Structures are given as C-alpha cells and as structure tokens.
C-alpha cells in the first residue's frame, strides 16, 4: 500500500547539506562556514594553521580529543580523553577563546565549565555524536515519567555518560545524579548506588545513553549479573519493560550505543588470538559486553595509551577503538606491534569532521577578530548540567596531571 503523505510532493528532494554550506536546524547541526573554507588540497594548510596559532598566542587554547586526525591533533595544546579534557577546559581562564577539536557534547561541557568571559568554538558544527543523538531530552523526560508510573523513580539515580547533550546532563543534575566518563564509570556507579543503600541494596541506576558502558561497568566491575540489567527502549511504551522488570532491575540501561565501537565483534577477537601469537586485546568500554569479556584490558582512550605504553617492547596488541588513535599508537610505540581489531570498522565520521580546512578557517577568523561556530549552552541548562558535571569532578577517580 502507498503510504506517502498526500501533502508532500511524491518525489520531494531530500535536503542535501554540502560540506561547509547550509544549515539543518532540526538536528542542531549547522554546517555553515561563512566566508571561504580553505580547499583541502591547499599545500599551505599546516603552515597557515601554525601561523594563525602563533599570531593568536595565549589568546587561544586548543583542546584535542585522542580520536582527532593527526593533521589536527598536532595543533592541540592539550590532548586527552573526555575526562581529562573536561578537567583541562578550565585550565586557562585567561584565554578568551577555546577551540575544541572534538565533538559537540565535549564543546558544550567545556562551555559549561569555563568562565562567561571565554568562548568555546567547535570548528565544524556537524561534529556531533550518533550515540548522544540516541537520547533526546523529551525522551528522557518521558522515561522518568515511566519510572514514576512504575513506582521506582524514588529509588533511582541517573548516571549519564559524558556523551550526551547538555539538556540530558541538566536532567541528571535536576534529579540528583552524576555524569561519568569511560575512565570513572565504576566510581560514578558506586557513588550512585551509595545514595540508595549501596551496591548490595535495592536502589537502581538509570544509565544514559550507552547501554554497553553501563552493562560492562555494572557486571564486570561491580559484580552484578546480566539479569540485574534491563534495556529501556525509548521507542516503546514504558520502554518495552514490564512492571516486574522495573521492580527487579538494578541497572536500567538506555538503549543507545556507539556506532563505531558497537561494531567490534567476538569473531575479530577470536581471529586475532588465532593469528597473532601471545596477542593482547585491549578495547574501549563502549564495546559490546561479549567483546569486553574476551579482552585482556578495557579502558578509556587515555588508559589505552598508558597501558600500551607501559608494556614491554615487543608486545603484540590488537586495539578496539577509533582508528585515528590506533594508528597513532603505532607511531607512538614503534617497539610494539599494534593492529586494529576489526577490518570492517571505519573512522568515527563525526570526529573526522574536524579537519585542517575547518581548523584553519576557525583560527584565521579569530586572527581577524571574528568568532565562528561559538557554542553557547542556555544558562538554565548550563546551571543544572554543571551541578551534574561538578558531581563527577568531585568523585575520587582518575587524575590526569600531565
Ligand atoms: P574517552 O572518554 O575514552 O576518550 O571516550 C570518549 C569517546 O567515546 C569519544 O567518542
Ligand atoms: Fe560518538 Fe562513538 Fe564517535 Fe565517540 S566514537 S564521538 S561515542 S560516535
């Protein structure tokens, strides 16, 4: 049966967003670059970025996530995982401009954690995160209403992964929860359960939006069982859960995942173990539970770098995380043998939106006194998101002094 809506032309062209032009307000992903975006083939791009950065001096502070391209990360003043970058965002209060080479949720967090006199800039507003997009504020509010209807909201603490919009971080602050990252998820969960009687008690955690990080941490690190975890599907009435499931669950996991890490497979780990003698498998905790179960080490991007770096020369590794970082590990530690876990997994397409043309465009505009792509979080959202972020930063956990 033809179900096409009658009010629309049958073959209305889909809006096509050409890189650097146009704006899609519905997804908050503007990709407009007013003025000229330098051509990717311009051989002088690196020199132009260096010259602009030099001209800006201490006025600009460039933060770079480990998944950024080499061509971009070379210009970062600080590189790190999400936790370290959140800590470092506030490290240079005298710098009026913070250029965030990462994705949108990281830039939002940096805006929340820096002073009103500072402006955070994301060189390409299309650098979002597919996992963060899997939970909207309206869906999360509906979920909380479902928890109220099920009679469990009073004993539930939200723990929200950094990879989420500022609005969901604000929801977390309003409901007395905490943010976590991949490097402190265990501590965050322990804190959350302490609010409702401890890990051995009967309280619950609503974990947003990465079901894998939530499950891996609860089961592998806190000793819970897989049966303690249920998955809340925002597209189904009551999340697709029965009253009995709400009552018995300890971890209510949002049905979200990373489109990159979710693709690493058990078969790839088994193949690596067959083919590479004495290989060590290290993966990010956004990978699926079955994959993490087979790994030798699990850690955030910063922890992956430290673990590989600390191993004896001659160690063989397969690494299950974003490809830019895996390639960089090979350059950083040539005395080790480093391979990518799964040949069919691509770069994170949104992290890769930050390229040298966008960085040059951002920096050269700053030299000319123009701020492009500022990230401004609504003040009320920022207030409550900060409550949840400060809760995370107050937890005992990873410290990155370098
Ligand atoms: P880390 O916090 O381990 O760097 O990972 C964050 C992430 O997934 C960025 O996409
Ligand atoms: Fe989001 Fe996954 Fe990309 Fe990280 S790697 S930014 S979680 S899509």
Q: Does the pLDDT at position 23 exceed 90?
A: no
User: Do 286 and 257 contact (CB within 8 A), yes or no?
Assistant: yes
Q: Is 322 in the pocket of ligand 2 (CB under 6 A)?
A: yes
User: Does 402 score more than 80 pLDDT?
Assistant: no
- Is the CB of residue 360 below 6 angstroms from any atom belonging to ligand 2? no
Ligand 2 atom nearest the C-alpha of 163 is 7
To test the pocket of ligand 2, the residue of 160, 256, 325, 348 to mutate (highest count of ligand atoms within 8 Å of its CB) is 348
At 91-137, the pLDDT tens digits run: 899 999 999 999 999 999 999 999 999 999 999 988 999 999 999 99
pLDDT in tens, 221-267: 999 999 999 999 999 999 999 999 999 999 999 999 999 999 999 99
> Rg of the Cα trace of the chain?
22
Sign of CA dihedral 99, 103, 108, 114: negative
Measured between alpha carbons, how far is 155 from 146 in angstroms, rounded to an integer?
13
- Tell me the pLDDT tens digit for each residue of 358-389: 999 999 999 999 999 999 999 999 999 999 99
| DSSP reduced 3-state for 279 | coil
Ligand nearest 260 Cα, by number?
Answer: 2
d(CA 109, CA 377): 9
Phi, psi of 292 (to 5 degrees): -65, -35
Question: Half-sphere exposure of 355 toward its Cβ, with a 13 Å CA cutoff?
Answer: 16
Q: Omega of the bond prior to 289 within 30 degrees of 0, cis?
A: no
Ligand 2 binding pocket includes 258 (Cβ within 6 Å): yes
Tell me if the pTM is above 0.85.
Answer: yes
Distance from residue 154's CA to the centre of ligand 2 (Å): 32
């Amino acid at each position: 049966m033809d179900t096409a809506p009658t009010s629309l032309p049958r073959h209305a062209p889909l809006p096509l967003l050409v890189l650097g032009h146009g704006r899609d307000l519905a997804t908050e992903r503007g990709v407009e670059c007013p003025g000229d975006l330098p051509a990717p083939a311009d051989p002088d791009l690196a020199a132009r970025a260096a010259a602009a950065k030099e001209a800006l001096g201490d006025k600009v502070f460039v933060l770079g996530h480990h998944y950024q391209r080499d061509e971009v990360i070379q210009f970062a003043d600080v590189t790190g995982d999400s936790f370290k970058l959140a800590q470092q965002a506030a490290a240079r209060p005298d710098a009026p401009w913070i250029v965030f080479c990462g994705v949108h949720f990281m830039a939002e967090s940096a805006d929340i954690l820096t002073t009103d006199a500072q402006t955070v800039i994301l060189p390409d507003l299309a650098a979002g995160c597919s996992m963060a997009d899997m939970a909207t504020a309206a869906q999360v509010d509906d979920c909380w209403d479902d928890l109220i209807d099920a009679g469990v909201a009073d004993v539930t603490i939200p723990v929200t992964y950094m990879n989420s919009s500022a609005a969901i971080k604000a929801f977390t602050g309003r409901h007395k929860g905490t943010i976590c990252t991949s490097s402190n998820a265990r501590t965050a969960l322990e804190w959350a359960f302490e609010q409702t009687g401890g890990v051995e008690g009967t309280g619950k955690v609503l974990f947003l939006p990465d079901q894998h990080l939530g499950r891996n941490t609860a089961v592998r690190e806190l000793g819970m069982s897989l049966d303690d975890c249920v998955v809340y599907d925002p597209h189904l009435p009551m999340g697709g859960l029965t009253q009995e499931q709400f009552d018995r669950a300890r971890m209510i996991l949002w049905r979200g995942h990373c489109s990159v890490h979710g693709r690493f497979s058990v078969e790839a780990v088994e193949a690596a173990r067959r083919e590479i003698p004495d290989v060590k498998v290290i993966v990010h905790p956004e990978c699926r539970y079955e994959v993490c179960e087979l790994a030798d080490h699990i850690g955030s991007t910063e922890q992956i770098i430290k673990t590989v770096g600390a191993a004896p020369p001659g160690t063989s590794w397969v690494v299950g995380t974003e490809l830019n970082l895996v390639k960089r590990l090979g350059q950083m530690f040539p005395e080790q043998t480093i391979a990518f876990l799964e040949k069919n997994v691509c770069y994170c397409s949104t992290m890769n939106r930050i390229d040298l043309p966008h960085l040059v465009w951002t920096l050269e505009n700053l030299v000319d006194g123009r701020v492009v792509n500022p990230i401004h979080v609504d003040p009320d959202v920022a207030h409550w998101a900060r409550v949840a972020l400060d809760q995370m930063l107050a937890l005992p956990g990873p410290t990155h002094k370098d």
